[in-house]
Structure 1
Amino acid sequence: MHSTGKLTADSYEEFLERFSVEVPENFNFAYDFLDAEAATDPTRPAMVHVDDDGNRRDLDLAFFSSESSRMAQGLAKRGIGPGDRVLVMLYRRVEWWITVLALHKLGAVAAPGPHLLTTKDIEFRVDYAGIKAIVCEDGLAEKVDAARANCPSLTLLVGAGEGALPEGWTRFDDIIADGEENYIHTGPDGRRPGGADPLYIFFTSGTTGMPKMVTHPHTYPLGHLTTGMYWHDLKPGDLHLTLSDTGWAKSVWGKFYGQWLSGACIFTWDFRGKFTPDSLLGILAEHRITTFCAPPTVYRFLVREDLSLYDLSALRHCTTAGELLNTSVFESWKQSTGLNIYEGYGQTETCLQTATFPFMEPKPGSIGKPCPGWDLVLLDESGNPCPTGVEGEICIRLSEGRNLGLFTGYLDEPEKTATVMYDGYYHTGDKAWADEDGYFWFMGRNDDLIKSSGYRIGPFEVETALVSHPAVVEAAVTAVPDPVRGQAVKATLVLAQGYEPSDELTREIQDHVKKVTAPYKYPRVIDYVDELPKTISGKIKRAEIREKDESGN
């Protein structure tokens, strides 16, 4: 299978009507796309990699094809094979892609994990998922080794980098050295892994409770054709940067399949620690990035910089997902760059479900319309479709041959899977409403909605109003008990530099919200903090704020 030609459409309706994806039998991305494409166009640019010191490497498809084959054979010689589960904890280094592609070729199951996992986190994931091997940064080896004694399923530990490794570990480069560039793994029946075989275990962010373990099959990468080719609007010659940690599913949305399938080159900025807005803007300018995707929080920081200092003339298309984009940020970015920001929505359990595509007019704050292949319905609590303007749960109608990119279930937990897949639908647990044009407006998780004096208030719409005030950098909106209203709206805020908490500022912010949105939604309680509690993937942990309020601490 080679890269797919891009469909041109003048409207959303035409796009839905004409879009289709051919799914080859027993599809395996590493063999059927990467190796096949590298055989015909070996020097096609695949990745521009810039490390934390600014060193740049330009890598082609032939590099990833041969290196992943060597890695696959080196792992096979060490007992890793089809169905084996491998935890991969690497930064945005090139070895991450080599490792994951090697596991695809073996039929082993990649389980990406962020580098911020603690020893306890590692033990939980390894024991629950029956992880057989870990490939990680040498700097994480000590933390991983501490988990080893409580993880009997582990048989192989691999360290990437130049640092010292504990006894019993294997160096990444030694595994590569043991393999051949044309290695193809086949089972006893002569069949290559692919198709419905398991490909990934993704850990959800765990904003409430322990993370769920989401499984996807080998057809999953094809679900990201929509992500890369149409939402990111990629074409051959593009250089795309998605600002995401490799420990999360979002990285394969924007740093892997859809980008290569579109003929584009992935730009990987392997920065360590927290990004700084000026550094990111420097990267976008220096390396002439053409398309860019980042969470709304990043854009919020970028628009506070003097964008006129940076040459962003190569940038032609911008997208965002993960949280809702605030109208003020959308407008500031467009005023400075001339570019819209196109929003999208999906979950670890899915690919892109809804999006605003380039041939659609963006409505800031809307997550767009359903993607082709996804039959989305908003259902009320009785399971009935909701009329225009009425909130409901985002549900996906399950049908044969559709939902390319939908997860197969929660790992080894059919009962948990059955709580979200029933009556012919996958129930996302997320609430939204649709306007008269068919655009979806996200409201939040079911348990994030606030019920006050008979009104149902979504946290995002209040947060959007809050961050449009110049004093507010970040906001988290939750409910607190109220004897009269049942629940009252509370805002937990991080202030911009130069602002200090005061009763006067609180009243000013409350008055601002009343003007920007419906007055009944304003926060009756405001708490100022230095930083918001977040998951290690950067999502706000509203549940933690609620628990703290309930405990009185």
Structure 2
Amino acid sequence: MLSHQPQADYEQLWRDFRWPSSTAYNIGVDVCDRWANSDPERIALIHKLPGGGLEEVSFGQLKERSNRLANLLTRLGIGEGDRVAVLLGQCPETAFSHIAIYKMAAIAVPLFSLFERDALLYRLNDSGCRAVVTDRIGAAKLAAIREQLPALEQVLVVDEVVTDELDLRQAMALESDQFEPVVTGGETPALIIYTSGTTGQPKGALHGHQVLLGHLPGVELSHNFFPQPGDRIWTPADWAWIGGLYDVLLPALHHGVTVVAHRMPKFDPEGALQLIADFEIRNLFMPPTALKLLRTLGEIRGRWALSLRTIASGGEPLGEELLQWAEQQLGVRINEFYGQTECNMIVSNCEALMPIRAGSMGRPAPGHRLAVVDPEGQPLGVGEVGVVAVKRPDPVMFLGYWNNEPATRARFVGDWMLTGDLAYQDAQGYLYFQARDDDLITSAGYRFGPGEIENCLLSHPAVRMVAVVGKADPLRTQIVKAFVVLNRGYSGDTELVSALQAHVKTRLAPHEYPREVAFVESLPMTVTGKIIRRALRE
């Protein structure tokens, strides 16, 4: 999408950018068949198996396997517009399942492999999935709730099975390796991906095939004009989420870049660094929680032979201290980016193109028209805090919430899609995140977000992780309350409470210091690593 050679002028890059003009587009053909037809031996995936072995999968093999699965699903009665869930971790089956579903013009529903009963029930029933591709563990979970899933007809299991479910490998072996992809357009439905539920019940964001094209400018910027020769990418984020699937796997396959597939049952900072070194990984998408856990290792320079070129991160603001730590210890300046499940990768930093400004999530990626607006959708001036809004049409924007037209309408004011995130924009177009609109704290007449306070507290040596919320107060409307997870060797006593309060008072403002501090063992988080402040407020 962008020129792969760094350009000196962001404004010129933006002015020259054009979205593809062709109306026919299919994700599966783009990320698989296009490469398989021209360079079938090119390695698409390197899969580190749980037992320690390796599996390399070429683009030619991805095409063969996705064609066989598409034929199998077709024979089982799955057709255009039908929903097919993928309940798997980072593995080749996840990749070729998505490709097959897209080539059929069915609709993929990625599901996190650690979801349990209620999460699976809600998403499968809400989307009306007719089939699920999963492994033995997922099949066992589905068996326990199968009677409550009236639309579900087929469960295809990757592992050898001893139940009545269909053995995926055996069934695929009987199918042809030739399949004629359905001709789809940019707005042909391709994907229902559920929001992480930080502000209520998860909603199914329906995207068209164009969503991958919409991601590319932001992905390419966040990895300093990705790809460059020798690039190889990995993320600890699961491929069931928009970040793992559309910020890493599918953009990399679009560019013919090898993806390392390895999902840790639980993120292990030392294990992650060893993986990065062993596989000579050059590009990382690291969610903020993973970066914070890496930081707990302290001094890591020289302990691993790293060959990193880029690190991209999004989901929560990182703070200058964490950025400086990464640059010193990992040798790379992190490019923060911003987006949502409904409209992802719309803002990005790019160290190769423009200066990174402390506290900023970047500038609008080429092709995406953004503004900071008031509740009526009127653009605000430089430095004024308002809601980040994206103008339609935009290929990365969701088509709507699945079976929830009222919620879809509520996201728009005219042609502006309101993200619900508060920010301000400086004179050069850099955006500075402030808070979710429902995370905003009102205290003694001041309105402010939790991010700056959290970053300040994280700079104290006692604090490992922290979340800040507003607590109702009859005098001040709200007071600031901090929930703190401590580093080893520190005790959560009144002396430390006073020290943390003073730490904020002397660095931010008197109205922002936490009048209450609670020491906790852990913070409530979504499975994507975002803090659920709603749970803390409740």
Q: Which interval holds the TM-score relative to the shorter structure?
A: over 0.9
Aligned equivalents of 1:181 and 1:7: distance in 2? Answer: 38
Equivalent residues, number = 534
Given candidates 261, 271, 274, the residue that maps to 1:268 is 261
Return the letter of the residue paired with 2:354: M
Moved more, 312-321 or 215-224: 312-321
Return the letter of the residue paired with 2:163: P
Residue 490 of structure 1 aligns to a residue whose secondary structure is: strand
| Structure 2 partner of 1:468 | 459
Contact 2:338 2:348 in 1 (8 A): yes
Given candidates 171, 178, 184, the residue that maps to 2:174 is 178
Aligned equivalents of 1:32 and 1:293: distance in 2? Answer: 22
Contact 1:107 1:194 in 2 (8 A): no
Aligned equivalents of 2:420 and 2:17: distance in 1? Answer: 27
Q: 1:227 to 1:320 in 2, by over 3 A?
A: same
Given candidates 99, 119, 130, the residue that maps to 2:97 is 99
Aligned equivalents of 1:460 and 1:50: distance in 2? Answer: 36
Given candidates 308, 314, 338, the residue that maps to 2:307 is 314
Alpha-carbon distance, 1:356 to partner: 0.5
Contact 2:295 2:322 in 1 (8 A): yes
| Structure 1 partner of 2:198 | 207
List structure 1 runs of 4+ shifted beyond 6 angstroms: none
Aligned equivalents of 1:105 and 1:125: distance in 2? Answer: 23
Q: 1:213 to 1:25 in 2, by over 3 A?
A: same
Given candidates 313, 317, 329, the residue that maps to 2:322 is 329
Alpha-carbon distance, 1:257 to partner: 2.2
Aligned equivalents of 2:181 and 2:208: distance in 1? Answer: 18
Question: Is the counterpart of residue 365 in structure 1 residue 359 in structure 2?
Answer: yes
| Structure 2 partner of 1:352 | 345
| Structure 2 partner of 1:114 | 112
Aligned equivalents of 1:4 and 1:379: distance in 2? Answer: 28
Alignment of 1:535-546 (within 5 A): 535-546=526-537
Question: Is the counterpart of residue 29 in structure 1 residue 27 in structure 2?
Answer: yes
Moved more, 247-256 or 490-499: 247-256
| Structure 1 partner of 2:472 | 481
Contact 2:373 2:388 in 1 (8 A): yes
Alpha-carbon distance, 1:229 to partner: 2.4
Return the letter of the residue paired with 2:198: T
| Structure 1 partner of 2:163 | 166
CA deviation vs aligned residue, 1:7-66 (integer Å, no higher than 9, x gap): 542122122122223143320021244212211111222112112333222222111111
Residue 464 of structure 1 aligns to a residue whose secondary structure is: helix
Task: Give the alignment's TM-score, normalised by structure 2.
Answer: 0.95
Given candidates 222, 230, 241, the residue that maps to 2:213 is 222
| Structure 2 partner of 1:528 | 519
Residue 230 of structure 1 aligns to a residue whose secondary structure is: helix
Contact 2:30 2:254 in 1 (8 A): no
Aligned equivalents of 2:430 and 2:186: distance in 1? Answer: 33
Aligned equivalents of 1:518 and 1:483: distance in 2? Answer: 21
Alignment of 1:290-301 (within 5 A): 290-301=282-293
Residue 301 of structure 2 aligns to a residue whose secondary structure is: helix
Mark the runs of 5 or more structure 2 residues left unpaired by the alignment: none
Moved more, 213-222 or 230-239: 230-239
Given candidates 361, 370, 382, the residue that maps to 1:388 is 382
CA deviation vs aligned residue, 1:143-170 (integer Å, no higher than 9, x gap): 11122111111111111224x4433x10
Q: CA RMSD in A?
A: 1.7
Contact 1:207 1:541 in 2 (8 A): yes
| Structure 2 partner of 1:550 | none
Given candidates 412, 422, 430, the residue that maps to 2:421 is 430
Alignment of 1:187-206 (within 5 A): 192-206=183-197
Aligned equivalents of 1:261 and 1:14: distance in 2? Answer: 25
Aligned equivalents of 2:489 and 2:170: distance in 1? Answer: 53
Return the letter of the residue paired with 1:513: V
Contact 2:72 2:171 in 1 (8 A): yes
Question: Is the counterpart of residue 147 in structure 1 residue 141 in structure 2?
Answer: no
Identity %: 32
Aligned equivalents of 1:295 and 1:364: distance in 2? Answer: 18
Contact 2:236 2:263 in 1 (8 A): no
Mark the runs of 5 or more structure 1 residues left unpaired by the alignment: 187-191, 548-553
Q: 1:452 to 1:297 in 2, by over 3 A?
A: same
Alpha-carbon distance, 1:208 to partner: 2.5
Alignment of 1:430-449 (within 5 A): 430-449=421-440
Q: 1:222 to 1:149 in 2, by over 3 A?
A: same
Q: 1:452 to 1:240 in 2, by over 3 A?
A: same
Return the letter of the residue paired with 2:356: P
Moved more, 244-253 or 15-24: 15-24
Contact 1:228 1:259 in 2 (8 A): no
Moved more, 387-396 or 122-131: 122-131
Return the letter of the residue paired with 2:286: A
Q: 1:52 to 1:326 in 2, by over 3 A?
A: farther
| Structure 2 partner of 1:551 | none
CA deviation vs aligned residue, 1:397-448 (integer Å, no higher than 9, x gap): 224xxx1211100012222111112312111111111123321111121110
| Structure 2 partner of 1:72 | 70
Residue 434 of structure 2 aligns to a residue whose secondary structure is: strand
Return the letter of the residue paired with 2:143: D
Given candidates 275, 278, 285, the residue that maps to 2:277 is 285
Task: Give the alignment's TM-score, normalised by structure 1.
Answer: 0.93
Aligned equivalents of 1:196 and 1:293: distance in 2? Answer: 27
Aligned equivalents of 2:30 and 2:350: distance in 1? Answer: 28
Contact 1:142 1:166 in 2 (8 A): no
Aligned equivalents of 2:533 and 2:470: distance in 1? Answer: 9
Residue 420 of structure 2 aligns to a residue whose secondary structure is: strand
Contact 1:296 1:326 in 2 (8 A): no
Aligned equivalents of 1:126 and 1:317: distance in 2? Answer: 36
CA deviation vs aligned residue, 1:286-316 (integer Å, no higher than 9, x gap): 1111111111221122133231243344111
Return the letter of the residue paired with 1:294: M
Aligned equivalents of 1:313 and 1:283: distance in 2? Answer: 10
Aligned equivalents of 2:301 and 2:81: distance in 1? Answer: 51
Moved more, 212-221 or 292-301: 292-301
